[in-house]
Amino acid sequence: MSQQKSPYMIFRVGGRMCAVSVSNVVEVSVSDSINPLPGAPDYVVGIKKFRNEIVPIIDTVKMLSIPKAQNNDVPNKYAVMFEINTANGKKKFGALIDKVLNVVELNNADIKKLELTDDSLAGASYVKGILMSNDGNFVYVLLPELFFSKQDIIKIAKIIPNKNSDMEYNI
């Protein structure tokens, strides 16, 4: 019996190693040119122009309640740009991370689901499961499509300027 393997991007954010399916990853870029977005949920640090669209950028450390990094990684140096399916169509957003570590093939059977009966683990609703790396560290497998609630998507859509509007002004 063969186990189904899928590619995952492994990255470090704060004091944790995390993974996401590469099927949602559009690009990894340097986290520059992020502008504040007043009125957005507190885990949204701002907006960034990405491929002629204005996308929200989230603070992954805050969203997942992860402790700040205790290593030599530069905090929030990169933004992973995601595309997810929502009830209102495909949406793009970015998530701040410290460092991309690798892209690996993972057996879905190796990802152990969290058996939580309550919300005792902050950020658990975004976690598909955990697995152990070869060096003994835990890797949290995340579900980017759950990073935004339906209410947050509606709220952010109302705040972010329409992509069809002419936002560039010569001043």
Q: What tens-digit pLDDT sequence spans the chain (171 residues)?
A: 457 889 999 999 988 899 999 999 999 999 888 999 888 888 899 999 998 889 999 998 888 888 776 777 778 899 999 998 877 788 899 999 999 999 999 888 888 887 655 554 555 678 888 988 778 888 999 999 888 877 887 788 888 866 544 444 444
Instruction: Identify whether the C-beta of residue 72 lies closer than 8 Å to the C-beta of residue 78.
Output: no
pTM: 0.83
Q: Tell me the residue type at 35.
A: N
Domains of the chain: 5-159 (2.40.50.180)
- Rounded CA-CA distance 142/107 in Å is 15
